[in-house]
């Protein structure tokens, strides 16, 4: 009986559509590019999606529309009623685009999907693959995405969230900084905040100044880092 002395690398990519509902609406209103846009929930109750420009104005997720209607008008914010049939169709197109390049896609939500990159060939070219995938999704569907890469689904998710804050397209988790993890703790539950602090402790980064390139050699983290990271579990236990 033979033994595989070089097991597959555990690596995940999370493809996250940026401000998905707003991006969908902008496809049919190109004049709203770089303009503040929000999408409302059923019956136009609360804000459920915000463009980056709307976020910059301090508009909060879940804010009741009637409370800030005057503010939206004064700031020139365009508000759309939700169109879930449209969002579902565009979500399917994004997933099909992923499937055209990745051997396996695990849809997580209407605007997110995980791609396992466990094989050596995929892991060694993870950054290049994700850069090409991001360009293809934008070209084929018009939807901008951020892709996070990590040794677990949780780390890939965190990398994608960090990428959105840093306005970067493909972010490996080794670019995590203490400041970034601290910023992501805002509004998190105590268990999540504790986990984020421990996550930074094992990330090995202090300044967050790594270039946006994940070289194949960087996939082989120091043994002590791998051993410690293997002991860290997300608050959900996944």
> What CATH number does residue 54 fall under?
3.40.1170.60
Look at the pTM and tell me if it is higher than 0.85. Answer: no
How far apart, in whole angstroms, are the C-alpha atoms of residue 105 and residue 116?
A: 7
Residue 161 domain-assigned (yes or no):
no
Q: Where are the alpha helices (DSSP H) in the chain?
A: 20-27, 52-56, 69-74, 84-99, 120-124, 126-141, 153-166, 178-184, 190-203, 223-231
Question: pLDDT value at position 89?
Answer: 96
Number of Cβ within a 10 Å radius of residue 190: 9
Residues spanned by the domain of 29: 20-83
**What pLDDT tens digit does each residue of the chain (238 aa) get?**
444 444 456 788 899 999 999 999 999 999 999 999 999 999 899 999 999 999 999 999 999 999 999 999 999 999 999 999 999 999 999 999 999 998 899 999 999 999 998 887 787 888 888 889 999 999 999 999 988 888 888 888 888 887 777 665 454 545 454 444 544 545 555 655 555 555 444 333 333 333 332 323 333 333 233 333 333 333 343 3
Number of Cβ within a 10 Å radius of residue 13: 28
Residue 218 domain-assigned (yes or no):
no
Distance, CA of 45 to chain centre: 26
Residue 115 domain-assigned (yes or no):
no
Residue 26 domain-assigned (yes or no):
yes
How far apart, in whole angstroms, are the C-alpha atoms of residue 108 and residue 110?
A: 7
Question: pLDDT value at position 39?
Answer: 97
Phi-psi region of 159 (alpha: psi -120 to 50; beta: other; left: phi over 0): alpha
Residue 61 domain-assigned (yes or no):
yes
Structural domains counted in the chain: 1
Tokens of 200: 């930074």
């Amino acid at each position: 009986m033979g033994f595989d002395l070089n097991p597959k690398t555990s690596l995940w990519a999370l493809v996250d559509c940026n401000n998905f509902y707003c991006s969908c609406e902008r496809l049919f209103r190109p004049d709203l590019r770089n303009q503040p846009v929000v999408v409302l929930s059923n019956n136009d109750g609360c804000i459920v999606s915000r463009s980056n420009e709307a976020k910059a104005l301090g508009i909060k997720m879940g804010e009741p529309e009637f409370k800030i209607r005057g503010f939206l008008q004064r700031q020139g914010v365009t508000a759309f009623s939700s169109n879930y049939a449209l969002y579902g169709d565009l979500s399917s197109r994004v997933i099909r685009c992923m499937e055209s390049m990745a051997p396996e896609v695990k849809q997580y939500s209407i605007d997110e999907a995980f791609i396992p990159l466990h094989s050596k060939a995929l892991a060694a070219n993870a950054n290049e693959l994700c850069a090409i995938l991001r360009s293809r999704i934008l070209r084929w569907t018009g939807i901008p995405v951020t892709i996070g890469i990590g040794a677990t689904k949780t780390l890939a998710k965190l990398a994608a969230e960090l990428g959105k804050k840093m306005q970067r397209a493909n972010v490996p988790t080794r670019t995590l900084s203490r400041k970034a993890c601290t910023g992501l703790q805002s509004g998190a539950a105590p268990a999540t905040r504790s986990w984020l602090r421990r996550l930074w402790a094992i990330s090995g980064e202090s300044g967050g100044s790594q270039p946006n390139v994940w070289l194949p050699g960087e996939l082989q983290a120091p043994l002590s880092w791998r051993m410690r990271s293997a002991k860290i579990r997300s608050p959900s236990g996944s």
